[in-house]
Amino acid sequence: MLRSRLSSFPGITGKSLIEQVSGLKEEDCFQEFVPNLKRKKEGCVVLVYDLGVKRNIVKTLIGLGCSVKIVGSGTKFADIKTLGASGIVFSNGPGDPEPCTEAIKFAQLAIKDRMPCLGICLGHQIISLALGGKTVKMSVGHHGANHPVVNLRTGKIFITSQNHGFVVDEQQFEEIAEITHRSLFDGTIQGYRLKKFPVFAFQGHPEGCPGPQDIEEIFEDFLTSIEQKVEILK
């Protein structure tokens, strides 16, 4: 019986699953207990575009001094103008990124508006598609908390948490982006930053660090771009 059910499973390619998991609220993240008030960043309001966000992403942002607003995956870009966001995080989430057309459109508009953006896991893939890139189904996905990733700028190696079955095809990225991180297991893209826009992306889970927290530098780079934007607007 189990074998027949497995053989009849249609797979997840071509299916959008984010509607089933989007819906975290700020109060679910205990925001009032987490901020380090000494590190509160003036004007740093981060909008989390919820594709199935992990609570620890929100807690990490708050712990780094940000005010956080969470919006669902069906939110229109025009609707966020009143929220005063100074940066956007496209969260993790399940499944194939290509059917997530509304999220891709949202990312395209955010990038065009020169909004500082950070994509994590599925969000990393959504931003890639928004830039005209492609994603492909992996024959063997990345799952676990022991994946070595190298920072190509510094040569530093991180042990990261990963949980994805799709990967960004890098062929069209050389002209517009700098590849910043690679997997030491299979060489796939693990991170990049755009050359002309304040946009960063990371395939793994920088918030998923049961031991050392040095991979939180992914958040720090993003927040630095927000601080630069806030300074310009003063």
pLDDT tens per residue across span 185-220: 999 999 999 999 999 999 999 987 655 577 889 999
Q: Which two tokens stand for residue 200?
A: 């960063």
Q: Report the DSSP pairing between strands 117-120 and 199-202.
A: parallel
CA dihedral for 148, 48, 221, 42, sign (positive or negative): negative
Query: Which has more confidence, 172 or 146?
Result: 146
CA distance 203 to 225: 19
Secondary structure of the chain as H, E, C letters: CHHHHHHHCCCCCCCCCHHHCCCCCHHHHCHHHCCCHHHCCCCCEEEEECCCCCHHHHHHHHHCCCEEEEECCCCCHHHHHHHCCCEEEECCCCCCCCCCHHHHHHHHHHHHCCCCEEEECHHHHHHHHHCCCEEEEEEEEEEEEEEEEEECCCCCEEEEEEEEEEEEEHHHCCCCEEEEEEECCCCCEEEEEECCCCEEEECCECCCCCCCCHHHHHHHHHHHHHHHHHHHHC
Given 117, 121, 142, 209, which residue is catalytic?
A: 121
- Closest to 113 in 3D by CA, of 199, 231, 9, 19: 199
pLDDT class for 18, splitting at 50, 70, 90? Answer: low
Active site (annotated) includes residue 124: no
pTM of this structure: 0.88
Q: Tell me the domains of the chain and their CATH numbers.
A: 39-233 (3.40.50.880)
66 belongs to the catalytic site: no
* Nearest residue to 94 (alpha-carbon basis) of 64, 32, 47, 50: 50
Q: Identify the band that residue 74 occupies on the pLDDT scale cut at 50, 70 and 90.
A: confident
At 212 the pLDDT is: 59
pLDDT at 34: 47
Question: Residues 182, 96: contact at Cβ < 8 Å?
Answer: no
Tell me the sheet residues that pair with 194. Answer: 177
β-pairing verdict for 87-90 and 117-120: parallel
Whose tokens are 């049961």? That residue is: 210
Is 207 a known active-site residue? yes
Q: What is the mean pLDDT of residues 72-91?
A: 92
Which among 29, 66, 98, 207 is annotated as catalytic? 207
Let me know: does 105 contact 83? Beta carbons within 8 Å. Answer: no
Choose, from 124, 164, 181, 205, the residue flagged as catalytic.
205
Residues linked to residue 2 through DSSP beta bridges, in sequence order: none
199 or 18, greater pLDDT: 199
Phi, psi of 49 (to 5 degrees): -85, 110
Question: What sign has the CA pseudo-torsion 22, 31, 228, 216?
Answer: negative
